[in-house]
Every structure is written in C-alpha cells, then in structure tokens.
Amino acid sequence: MTEQADGTGTFHDFVVHRSAALSRTAYLLTGDHHLAEDLLQSALARTYRHWRRIRAGDPAAYVRRVMYHQHISWWRRRRLAERLQPEPVDRAGEDSSEAIALRLSVTAALRQLTPRQRAVVVLRFYEDLTEAQVAEVLGCSVGTVKRHGHDALSRLRTVAPGLVERTQRSIR
C-alpha cells in the first residue's frame, strides 16, 4: 500500500499506523477492552465510507470524533445494561503492583464521570489536544469544553482525592 499521487496515504496505511493510539483512546472512553475494540471497529468502518473526503485532512481527529459520538450513542442505549467484572490485564512483560493499582484507580475514577466529562479529560490530558481541538472534535464551544473539564477535575478530586499525587509520583 503506497502513497497516492496527491500525497495522502491509503486507508490501510492509516489503520496500520494509527490504530494502536486510537485503540487506547477508545479504551479510555469506554473503560472496557471489548467495548473499545467494538467502538474502534465501528469508527473505522464509518471512516472508510468517507475516506476520499477526509484523507487529506486529519483522519485521526475524524475517527476520534466518530468514536466519541458512537460511544455517547451506545451509552444512552445501555444505561441499564449489566456490567461484567473487569478482566485481568493481559500484557506482555512485568508491571509493578503500584502501577497496576494506579491504572485501576484511574479507570475507576474515569467511570465516575459523565461520558462528556470523560471525553474531555481523555482528549485534553491523554490525547494532549488543545481546548479548541477538543471543542472541534466534540462539536461544541470552547467554553463548554472548559466547563466539562472543570467539572470533571472537580469530580475526580472528590472521588479520588489522592489520584493526582499518585499519578505525578509515577511519572517521575
């Protein structure tokens, strides 16, 4: 799969190079590996249908926006659905128990946020997007992004008061 004459890559190249990062974003939005796989698959299928139109722009931003909207749609339909217990993390290599506990704490804290708040936190702090970029992805104003971000951080401080300090210690 090579570059097209206009300088844009093929859909296959895009999926190969961006799916890992997009998969992590999907997981942070859903909090579940299986739902994240379904969400990413659904978003990529929608992206493929519009590939000619979006390939010259920022297809990763388009996929993130589709994932966000699809996740909200699923969330509205599944509010009362039962939740399965989290599965053990299936990773190659060793991980310290402190890092695992931190990851579980972050996941549990993110589950306490509304879907919009979670999306803002994931896009701002995990994807490292600006407020304007988040507003574009979510299709809302910058003020709305700021409000959801402020509310989300306040909620996180309430439900997981030591999380910020633990996160900063693990980064150092």
pLDDT, one tens digit per residue, over 6-44 is: 445 789 999 999 999 999 999 988 888 898 999 999 999
Confidence of residue 78 (pLDDT cuts 50, 70, 90): low
pLDDT tens profile 97-118: 777 777 888 888 888 888 889 8
For residues 8-34, b (16+ Cβ closer than 10 Å) or e, as one string? bbebeebbeeeeeebbebbbbbbbbee
- Domains by residue range for the chain, with CATH: 8-87 (no CATH), 92-172 (1.10.10.10)
Both tokens of 128, joined, read 């490292």
